[in-house]
Amino acid sequence: MMSHDSGPPVAQPEHFEFTPENLGRAKAHIAKYPPGRQQSAVLPLLDLAQRQWGGWLPLAAMHTVADLLEMPRIRVYEVATFYTMFNLKPVGRWLLQVCTTTPCWLRGSDEVVAACQRKLAIDIGGTTLNGLFTLVEVECLGACVNAPILQVNDDYYEDLDGPKTEALLDALRAGTPPPFGSAIGRQGSMATGGKTTLLEEPTPPPWQAALTASGETEEEKSDAG
């Protein structure tokens, strides 16, 4: 069995074992569950294996996880093939996950996709010849207010457009990823035009001013009551 997904066969390693550090992490995850329920740790263990193997899950890694959790291998295959967070074939150094769900689309995700395709000369699902970038399309990344979003490995880059996406790709290619977050300097999820509420310091209630003047703490006041 050379491949566990549709598409060209993937060369599979014959052996996988966790590093001592990751084995310790795996055992810590397993210890969170009562005896007989260790299979509940399958997701974090698969994630550990994927990170150790350079961003994708070979069959040997899934077998190791199954054996460690004392569960049938087919059950591990079911989990790994269900969740799109697990990659069943090699991916690039930078995994570009572009959201094209309605909020991102309305805010210009088409420009982000086009910039990636133009700059990298690959289509959705493709990997550059140098193995540096893989481009995939995903559904809602859960940061709609700062759309459009491009997730790069574990980090969100927000408020993108075509030119900003190209600049981001240039930085990634050079090995100097910029700080993640809003590309327009937006703080958190505030409006693009700046704050619209809480523009001034609120006036404290009278009892708080009296409390401050007396030097009594709020906890002391509560105890006294």
What's 41's domain CATH number? 1.10.10
Q: What is the DSSP string of 12-44?
A: --S-----HHHHHHHHHHHTTS-TT-GGGGHHH
Provide the domain limits for residue 45. Answer: 20-82
User: What DSSP character marks residue 125?
Assistant: T
Q: Is residue 50 part of a domain?
A: yes
Residues 130 and 57 occupy one common structural domain: no
Query: Is residue 209 pLDDT above 60, yes or no?
Result: yes
- Tell me: the pLDDT tens digits for 111-143? 999 999 999 999 999 999 999 999 999 999 999
Q: Among 136-150, 162-176, 196-210, which is the least confidently predicted range?
A: 196-210
CATH of the domain at 144: 3.40.30.10
Q: Looking at the structure, do residues 27 and 66 belong to the same domain, yes or no?
A: yes
Domain contains 176: yes
Q: Is residue 98 part of a domain?
A: yes
Tell me if 193 is assigned to some domain: no
The tally of domains found in the chain comes to: 2
Distance separating alpha carbons of residues 4 and 77, to the nearest angstrom: 8
Whether residues 73 and 99 fall in one domain: no
Instruction: Give the single-character DSSP code of 127.
Output: B
Quick: pLDDT tens for 179-190. 999 999 888 888
Q: Is residue 8 part of a domain?
A: no
Q: Are 65 and 106 found together in one domain?
A: no
| 77 and 138 both lie in a single domain | no
Give the pLDDT score at 225.
Answer: 54
One domain for residues 101 and 74 = no
Does a structural domain hold residue 221?
A: no
- Residue 80's CB is within 10 A of a number of other CB atoms, namely 24
Whether 168 is in a domain gets the answer yes
Residue 62 falls inside a structural domain? yes
Instruction: Choose one of 182, 200, 218: the last residue of a domain.
Output: 182
